[in-house]
Amino acid sequence: MLNFKNTTIAYIAILLLLMVGSLFFYFSGWVFFYVIISYLIIIIFGSFWMKFRFFVPTFTANKITNKPYVALTFDDGPHPVYTEQVLLLLRKYQIRATFFCIGKNIERYPDIFKKIVEEGHTIGNHSYSHKNTIGFNGTKCWINELEQTDTLIESFGVKKPAYFRPPFGVTSPHLAKAISFTSHTVIGWSIRPYDTSIKHKWAILRHIKRKLKPGSVVLLHDTHARIPFILERLLLFLHENNYKAVTINRLLDEK
């Protein structure tokens, strides 16, 4: 299995063999340089590609279920405008979803967060700050981010969230250590339509429809003006094609 530990051990072994070999044979210094660079490339790739499960075990889809179940997940809320519109649509179509909420946004909009809870959706931890440099956090900083958000969520009468989605999908050895301490299950996605950056609503929908299959985890954001349009048409598509949208915990349990 290609992960951080095994990769590091393999590269250390390669470097040691090269060092021993250099005592008997000539090796250009570039050989060592290329080995180190290739290792760094793998580390960077592993940090940004959650499906790789390089640093931490991650659930990105249910690959064994034959049931037409998919999980709709919403990141970065609660939002003062669009979260309530998302909730209205989910209520209209009788759908339960999973919301990965940012701690500081829960503090800003507690009434909206309370509505998410009251309507029976699954709550996930999405860090407290979601700052742009969060991927460089040390272990203690990660633990603080996770525990601070857990405490906020629990203050609304919700059990400690079992699930965590890393901001930007970036993982690291420090995050892996923090997760082993807090015991969260890390959740990724199998469909990422970049709905916050792509402005064309139909292009986002086409991407989701093309990738969708039983067991998919769809990453969306309840933080922008396009989401009500996208979500309603996605929910209609799911209904017309006999898909059932479920929470992440329900999808995890399906065999």
What tokens does 110 get?
A: 């507690």
What tokens does 122 get?
A: 């699954």
CA-to-CA distance for 4 and 27, rounded, in angstroms?
27
CA-to-CA distance for 59 and 151, rounded, in angstroms?
24
What tokens does 132 get?
A: 């742009």
Query: Is 199 in contact with 227 (CB distance < 8 Å)?
Result: no
What tokens does 152 get?
A: 């906020």
CA-to-CA distance for 31 and 15, rounded, in angstroms?
10
CA-based end-to-end distance of the chain: 23
Active site annotation includes 174: no
Residue 170: closest CA among 130, 208, 140, 204: 130
Eight-class DSSP state of 135: G
Active site annotation includes 221: yes
CA-to-CA distance for 88 and 121, rounded, in angstroms?
12
Active-site residue, selected from the candidate residues 75, 76, 150, 222:
75
Query: Is 4 in contact with 55 (CB distance < 8 Å)?
Result: yes
Active-site residue, selected from the candidate residues 79, 184, 221, 222:
221
Which residues are catalytic, by number? Answer: 75, 221
